[in-house]
Amino acid sequence: MKSFHRMTISEIKLFVREPMGMFFTLAFPLLLLFVFGSIFGNEPVALFGGMGTVDVSVPAYIGMTIATLGLLGLPIGLTTYREQGILRRLRATPVRPVVIFSALLAVNLLVALAGTLLLLVAGRLAFDLTMPAMPLSLLPAIFLCVLSFSALGFVLAGLASTPRAAQAVGMALLMPMLFLSGAAMPRELIPENIQRIGDFLPLTYVVELLKGLWLGQGWDLAAVALLLGMLAVGTLLAMRTFRWE
* DSSP 8-state symbol, 93: S
The DSSP code for 168 is H
Residue 185, pLDDT score: 87
| Contact call for residues 51 and 145 (beta carbons, < 8 A) | no
Q: For position 16, what pLDDT does the model report?
A: 87
> What share of residues in the chain are helix, strand, coil (percent, to 5)?
80, 0, 20
pLDDT at 222 over 90: yes
Each residue of 182-221: pLDDT tens digit? 999 888 888 888 889 999 999 999 999 999 999 999 999 9
- Residue 149 burial (10 A CB sphere; 0-12, 13-18, 19+): buried
- Spacing of C-alpha 171 from chain mean position: 13
- The 3-state DSSP class for residue 51 equals strand
Tell me if 62 sits within 8 A of 119, measured CB to CB. yes
Higher pLDDT, residue 165 or 89: 165
The reported pLDDT for the residue numbered 195 is 87
Evaluate if residue 129 carries a pLDDT over 90. Answer: yes
Q: Is the pTM of this model over 0.85?
A: yes
- Residue 1 predicted with pLDDT over 80: no
The half-sphere exposure of 75 on its side-chain side, counting CA atoms within 13 A, is 33
**Axis crossing angle, helix 135-159 with helix 202-214, rounded to the nearest 10:** 170
Beta bridge partners of 45: 51
Domain boundaries, the chain: 2-241
CB atoms within 10 A of CB 109: 19
